[in-house]
Structure 1
C-alpha cells in the first residue's frame, strides 16, 4: 500500500482517506471481514496525524462500511456493499415522501392492484365488462378508417378540429351551445380535472363538492394544495358557499347525472338551485357528465345548458361508454379557459392520441356511437335488474338501496356501520373486491358502491352470496 493523500487537492486529507478506503472495498481488495491496519500504521503510511486517520475511520463506521470489535481492531462490515449502495444512490424514499402528489389511500391502492387479477370477483369496478365493449365493431371501424399522414402525428393543442366540431353537434342534443373553439380534447375526464387544478386555481383555493364524492378517492386537487369542502345542497346553499368562500378562489365540482358513487340523478330544480347559488358568489361549476349517455330514461338537461355566462366547465368522455383504453374525453368552456388549459396540456403530453381521436370521430359521425349506446343501455338495464333480484332475495332485511336509474352502480346501504378496512380485507381474502363507502366519505361505514357493469352474471351471483355471508357474520359479532 503505497498510496498517500494529495496535499494539493481541494479535498481535505480526511475526505481523501475515506474515499481511498471505500475504493478498496468497491474493488474487492478489502472484502467483508478484512481487518484494517492500526491507526498508527495508517497514519505512518499516509504521513498524516493519527487524529486525521481516527476521524476518517469514525466517518466510515457511521456510514456502515467499517465496524470496531473491542479488543480486536477495525474490520470491513458484512453489509459493506449494502452500505455503499445506500451512499451512492439517491434517497428515493425521501423524494417520495416529500413530493407534491400524495399517495392514494391504502384501500384504493389495493383496489387498483387486485383489479388486475383474473381470479377476483370485482363488485365495485367503475368500467364496462370486456364483453360489453364493442370489440368487433372497433376492429371493423379500424378497417374502414383511412388515415392521412397528418392524423398519425401530434394533435393540435385543443385536439382534432373535426372531432371538436362533432362533439359540439353531439352535445347540442342536450341543449348545450358550443363552438369548436370552446372544446379541448383531453385524455379522459380525470386529465381535465388535473388541468383545471394546475391551470386555473391558486394554492389554497376551495373545491366545493357533495359530502360523498368521487373526488375523495382521487387527488387531483388535494395534491396541489386545494382545500376540499363538502356541503349539503339545500335551501341554504347560497349562504353556505358565500360564508365558506369569503375572499378565496373557489369552484364547485358536481356530478348531477348518475352521481358517482351514489347513482343519484338531480332534478331540474336541483340543478337550477346550484347554478344560482354559485352564480351569486361567482363560483365556477365543474360539471362532470361522463355517465349521461347511460341513463335508462331521459332526464333534464345538464347545468351547462342553462349557462349563458361561461360559468360552467363541462366534462364528457367515451371512457364509460365506448372504451376506457381510447383515453378520449372533452372539456367545454369559455375560449380563454380552453386555450389556457390546452397550452398546459401541450406542455404535459403534447396532445391526446391522434389515432384515438380519429376513431371517436368516426363513431360519432357514422352513427355507430348512437347505435352502440342504445344496445349498451339495454345490457346495463338487464344487469341492473338481475342484481336487484339478488338484492331483494338476500339483502332486503340487512340493507337498503334505490333502484338504479342508469350507469354502473347501486349505492348499497347496510343497516349497521360494518364497512371498515377489516370488512374490506375479509372480502378480499375470499377473492371478492368491493369499493367501500369510506373511500368516498371517510366517515361512511354503511355503504358500498356495488357495480353491476363488470362482473359476469355468475360472478355477481357468487360474489353477492359471499358479501351476504360476510355481512351476516359482521352483524352477529
Structure 2
C-alpha cells in the first residue's frame, strides 16, 4: 500500500482518504466483504492520525460503503455496489435544493396542483370563472385582428408600439400622463415584479409592504436575497422607514385599490399621504393596480397620477379582467427604468406573445375592453352579494368581514385562531380548496381569503357549508 494523502492539497486529509477508499471499491481492489486493516495499522501506513482516519471511516459508513462488525473490524458493505451505482446518477435533488429560487410553501403547491382538478370547489381562486371570460368575443376578434409576418414576429424590447399607444390613451382616464416610450409590455403583473427584482434591486434590499400581502405567497423578491418588511399603518412614518433603509436599498410595494388579499381600497387622501411619504424619504413605490377596474364604485385616481419625478412604478394587467391566458400586462415608469426592464425582459423571453399583444391592442382601441368591464362588474357584484349573504347566514356569530366593494375577494376573520394546515387538509379531503391567511402573513391563523369570482353560486353554497362544518368542528375541539 503505497498511497498517502497529499498534504499540499486544499482538500482535507479525511476527504482524500474517503475518495481513495471509494476508488478501491469501485475498481474492484476491495470487493464486497473485504476486511480492512486495523485502524492503527492503516493510519500508520497512510501517515495520518487515527482521528483523521476515523473521520473518514465515519463518512464512508454514513454513505453505506463500510460497516463495522463485532469487535473493531471494518468491512466493505454488502450494499456498496448499489450505493456506488446510485452515486453515478446525477443528484438532481442536490441541484434543486442548492438553486437560487426557493420552493413554494407546501400549501401553495397543493393549491396550484388541486386547482387543476375539476371536481374541486375553489373557494379562494384569484381568477375569473371561465363563464365570465369573453370567450366567444375573443374568438371572434381573432378574425378581425390583422396579422402580418412582422406583427407576429419578435416585438421591440418594450413591446408592440401600437399596444403601448393604446395603453397610453387608456391610462389617461386613470389620471396618468405618460408616453408610449415610458411603457414596457410584460407577461402579466408577476413578471413585472420579477423584472423589478432582477433589474433594479440589490441583494439584501428591503421591500416594504402591508402585513398581509400577496408577495408573501410568492418568492419573487425573497429568492434573490431581498427582505420583505411588513409595515403597519402606524409605522408608515418617515423616521421609521429611514431608520430601516439606512442598512440597505429599499422600495415600497402596495396594491392601493382592492388589495390582495384583504380587498381594502385606499381613500384618495391616503394615497396622497403615501405618495408624499415616498417622496419625502426618496423611497421608490411600486403601485400594483391590476384590480382597479373591478371596483363597483368609481375608482379614485392612481398614485401614479400624482407622480412628477418618476418615483412610482405603475403595474397594470388584463389578467384579472379579460383573460389570464393572454399573459399581457405593463409597467409605466421613468425612461431609464423602462429601458432597464425591457433589456432584462429580452434576455428572459424575447418579448410577450405577439398575438396576445395584437388582441389586447384591438380590444383597447375599439372600446370592447371597457364594454366588457361594465358587464363583468355587474356579474361580479351579483356574486359578491350572494357570497356576503352566505357568510351572514353561516358565520355571522363566529367571524367578521367587510362586504366586498369590488374585485374577487372577501377577507374572512374568525374570532378564534382556527385556520391551520389541519383545517386546510381536512377541507381538501372534502374537495374544498381555500387560501388560508398564513400564506399571506406568517403564523396568521384567523383569516381565509374567499373568492366569489370563480365558483358558481351552487359551488359557493356547497363549499361554504363544508367550511362551516369543519370550522364548527375546530371551534368545538378541545
Q: Same fold (TM over 0.5)?
A: yes
- What is the alpha-carbon distance in structure 2 between the residues aligned to residue 271 and residue 386 of structure 1? 30
- Contact kept? 1:64, 1:80, Cα under 8 Å: no
Q: Partner of 1:251 in structure 2?
A: 251
Query: If the length of structure 1 is used for normalisation, what is the TM-score?
Result: 0.86
Q: Partner of 1:92 in structure 2?
A: 92
Relative to structure 2, which stretch is displaced further, 308-317 or 388-397?
Answer: 388-397
- Contact kept? 1:123, 1:452, Cα under 8 Å: yes
Can you list the C-alpha shifts for 1:189-239, whole angstroms capped at 9, x where unaligned? 111111111111111111111111111111111111112111123485223
Q: Partner of 2:475 in structure 1?
A: 475
- What is the alpha-carbon distance in structure 2 between the residues aligned to residue 80 and residue 370 of structure 1? 68
Equivalent residues in 2 for 1:68-87, closer than 5 Å? 77=78, 80-81=81-82, 83-87=83-87
- What is the alpha-carbon distance in structure 1 between the residues aligned to residue 305 and residue 362 of structure 2? 26
- Contact kept? 1:241, 1:277, Cα under 8 Å: no
- Contact kept? 2:345, 2:351, Cα under 8 Å: yes
Q: Partner of 1:276 in structure 2?
A: 276
Can you list the C-alpha shifts for 1:162-212, whole angstroms capped at 9, x where unaligned? 101110101001100110110000111111111111111111111111111
Shift of the 78–357 alpha-carbon distance from structure 1 to 2, 3 Å rule, reads: same
- What is the alpha-carbon distance in structure 2 between the residues aligned to residue 440 and residue 18 of structure 1? 48
Q: CA deviation at 1:331?
A: 0.3
Query: If the length of structure 2 is used for normalisation, what is the TM-score?
Result: 0.86
Q: Partner of 2:347 in structure 1?
A: 347
Is 2:133 aligned against 1:165?
A: no
Shift of the 35–84 alpha-carbon distance from structure 1 to 2, 3 Å rule, reads: closer
- What is the alpha-carbon distance in structure 2 between the residues aligned to residue 282 and residue 201 of structure 1? 15
Shift of the 236–174 alpha-carbon distance from structure 1 to 2, 3 Å rule, reads: closer
Q: Partner of 1:177 in structure 2?
A: 177
Q: Partner of 1:197 in structure 2?
A: 197
- Contact kept? 1:163, 1:360, Cα under 8 Å: yes
Can you list the C-alpha shifts for 1:67-121, whole angstroms capped at 9, x where unaligned? 89999x988846734x244322233222222222111111111111111111211
Give the secondary structure class of the aligned counterpart of 1:185: strand
Q: CA deviation at 1:310?
A: 0.5
Relative to structure 2, which stretch is displaced further, 368-377 or 86-95?
Answer: 86-95
- What is the alpha-carbon distance in structure 1 between the residues aligned to residue 359 and residue 291 of structure 2? 20
Shift of the 86–163 alpha-carbon distance from structure 1 to 2, 3 Å rule, reads: same
Structure 2 regions of 5+ residues with no counterpart?
1-15, 38-44, 47-52
Shift of the 452–79 alpha-carbon distance from structure 1 to 2, 3 Å rule, reads: farther
Q: Partner of 1:388 in structure 2?
A: 388
Is 2:332 aligned against 1:328?
A: no
- Contact kept? 2:192, 2:331, Cα under 8 Å: yes
Shift of the 20–322 alpha-carbon distance from structure 1 to 2, 3 Å rule, reads: same
- Contact kept? 2:33, 2:78, Cα under 8 Å: no
- What is the alpha-carbon distance in structure 1 between the residues aligned to residue 129 and residue 441 of structure 2? 26
- What is the alpha-carbon distance in structure 1 between the residues aligned to residue 225 and residue 81 of structure 2? 42
Q: Partner of 1:378 in structure 2?
A: 378
Q: CA deviation at 1:389?
A: 1.3
- Contact kept? 1:233, 1:274, Cα under 8 Å: no
- What is the alpha-carbon distance in structure 1 between the residues aligned to residue 252 and residue 36 of structure 2? 70
Equivalent residues in 2 for 1:230-309, closer than 5 Å? 230-234=230-234, 237-246=237-246, 248-309=248-309
Give the secondary structure class of the aligned counterpart of 1:150: coil
- Contact kept? 1:237, 1:274, Cα under 8 Å: no
Give the secondary structure class of the aligned counterpart of 1:240: helix
Aligned residue pairs total 448
- Contact kept? 1:258, 1:295, Cα under 8 Å: yes
Q: Partner of 1:48 in structure 2?
A: none
